[in-house]
Amino acid sequence: MAPPLFRTRIKFCGMTRPGDVRLAGELGVDAVGFVFAARSRRLVDADQAAAMRRALAPMVDAVALFMDNDGDEVRRIVATVRPTLLQFHGEEDDAFCRRFGLPYLKAVAMGHDAPLEPLALHARYPTAAGFLLDGHAPGEGGGSGRVFDWTRVPAGITKPYLVAGGLTPDNVHEAVVATRPWGVDVASGVEVDGDEPGIKDGARMRRFVEEVRSADCG
Q: What is the mean pLDDT of residues 108-129?
A: 89
Q: What is the CATH number of the domain that holds 198?
A: 3.20.20.70
Q: Report pLDDT for 196.
A: 84
pLDDT at 140 over 60: no
Give domain status of residue 189, yes or no. Answer: yes
The span from the CA of 200 to the CA of 208, in Å, is: 12
Q: Report pLDDT for 138.
A: 61
Q: Report pLDDT for 52.
A: 98
Give domain status of residue 94, yes or no. Answer: yes
Q: Report pLDDT for 123.
A: 96
Give domain status of residue 4, yes or no. Answer: no
* Domain of 28, in residue numbers: 9-217
HEC-encoded secondary structure of 101-127: CCCEEEEEECCCCCCCCHHHHHHHCCC
Give domain status of residue 108, yes or no. Answer: yes
Give domain status of residue 3, yes or no. Answer: no
Are 161 and 196 in contact, with CB atoms under 8 Å apart? Answer: no
Q: Report pLDDT for 164.
A: 97
Q: What is the mean pLDDT of residues 15-23?
A: 98
Give domain status of residue 1, yes or no. Answer: no
What's the pLDDT tens digit per position in 152-206? Answer: 998 899 999 999 999 999 999 999 999 999 999 999 999 998 778 999 999 999 9
What's the pLDDT tens digit per position in 41-70? Answer: 999 999 999 999 999 999 999 999 999 999
pLDDT at 15 over 60: yes
pLDDT band at 6 (very low <50, low <70, confident <90, very high): confident
The pair phi, psi for residue 132, each rounded to 5°, is -115, 115
Q: Report pLDDT for 177.
A: 95
Domain count, the chain: 1
Give domain status of residue 127, yes or no. Answer: yes
Are 43 and 217 in contact, with CB atoms under 8 Å apart? Answer: no
pLDDT at 100 over 50: yes
The model scores a pTM over 0.75: yes
Q: Report pLDDT for 1.
A: 39
